Amino acid sequence: MKKNILSSVAIAAVAALSLASCNKSQPQVEAKSESKAPAELKIAYVEVDSIMTQYTFAKEYSALLEKKGQNIQATLAQKQQNLQAAAANFQQKIQQNALTREQAEAIQAGLQKQSNDVQGLQQRLSNEFAAEQAKYNKALHDSIAHYLAAYNKDKKYSIILSKSGDNLLYADKAYDITNEVINGLNKAYKGKLKGAEETPAKKK
């Protein structure tokens, strides 16, 4: 589950970087547009994996989701274990002819209800976890996009790319601004993440 969480978080970071690089005020397209590319195209890139491992908010967020995921797995495993134990006990009594027909039917109905309850709980917890994961992804996306928008007011980059894995065939390290961005993100982030209601502080 940790790998899935980190992958989801990384996707949110990539989306944030993509948004930030394209979120400048775009010129209106006219019928007879004579717009030209800037004389100097300034390009930079950021290592997404480094953001996920060094940005304090991302690390706290990933740890929090991992813990919640583990708690869900433990809860469901215990419920499933209880159901299996009850089913095994019922089977044993059936083999021993220790139950009347009415008793057996009542227990079987109870086991079916218990099974349905476990399935319902699993679906509910999964939905709640997905919703919380989406909420944190948005918070991460917003924090990165907001910071890069402010950061680029002075830097004036035309494009800021997100480098994740081998999505860029080649990138000269001279264009790598990862450390600078991470330092800025951590400086802008205030406090420790404690719950779903908290989001990283935005730098004004």
Express each pLDDT in 146-156 by its tens digit: 999 999 999 99
pLDDT of 33: 46
pLDDT in tens, 50-69: 999 999 999 999 999 999 99
pLDDT of 172: 94
pLDDT in tens, 83-142: 999 999 999 999 999 999 999 999 999 999 999 999 999 999 999 999 999 999 999 999
The pLDDT of residue 76 is above 80: yes
For tokens 């991470």, the residue is 182
Q: What is the mean pLDDT of the chain?
A: 83
For residues 148 and 157, give the distance between their C-alpha atoms in angstroms, rounded to a whole number: 10
Kindly state whether residue 29 falls inside one of the protein's structural domains: no
Kindly state whether residue 100 falls inside one of the protein's structural domains: yes
Kindly state whether residue 37 falls inside one of the protein's structural domains: no
Alpha helices in the chain (DSSP H): 2-22, 48-54, 56-95, 101-155, 178-188
Kindly state whether residue 137 falls inside one of the protein's structural domains: yes
Q: How far is CA 109 from CA 83, 105, 170, in A?
A: 13, 6, 63
The pLDDT of residue 40 is above 90: no
User: Which residue range forms the structural domain that includes residue 102?
Assistant: 2-17+42-188
Kindly state whether residue 57 falls inside one of the protein's structural domains: yes
pLDDT of 8: 57
For residues 91 and 118, give the distance between their C-alpha atoms in angstroms, rounded to a whole number: 20
Beta-carbon contacts of 19 under 8 Å, excluding residues fewer than 6 positions away, are 141, 145
pLDDT of 190: 81
For the residues 186-197, what does the mean pLDDT come to? 70
Count of structural domains within the chain = 1
Kindly state whether residue 94 falls inside one of the protein's structural domains: yes
Angle at CA of residue 52, ends 46 and 56, nearest 5°: 110
Q: Is 158 helix (H, G, I), strand (E, B) or coil?
A: coil
pLDDT of 36: 58
Could you tell me the pLDDT band of residue 34, with boundaries at 50, 70 and 90?
Answer: low
Which tokens go with 111? 């086991």
Kindly state whether residue 30 falls inside one of the protein's structural domains: no
Kindly state whether residue 164 falls inside one of the protein's structural domains: yes
The pLDDT of residue 201 is above 50: no
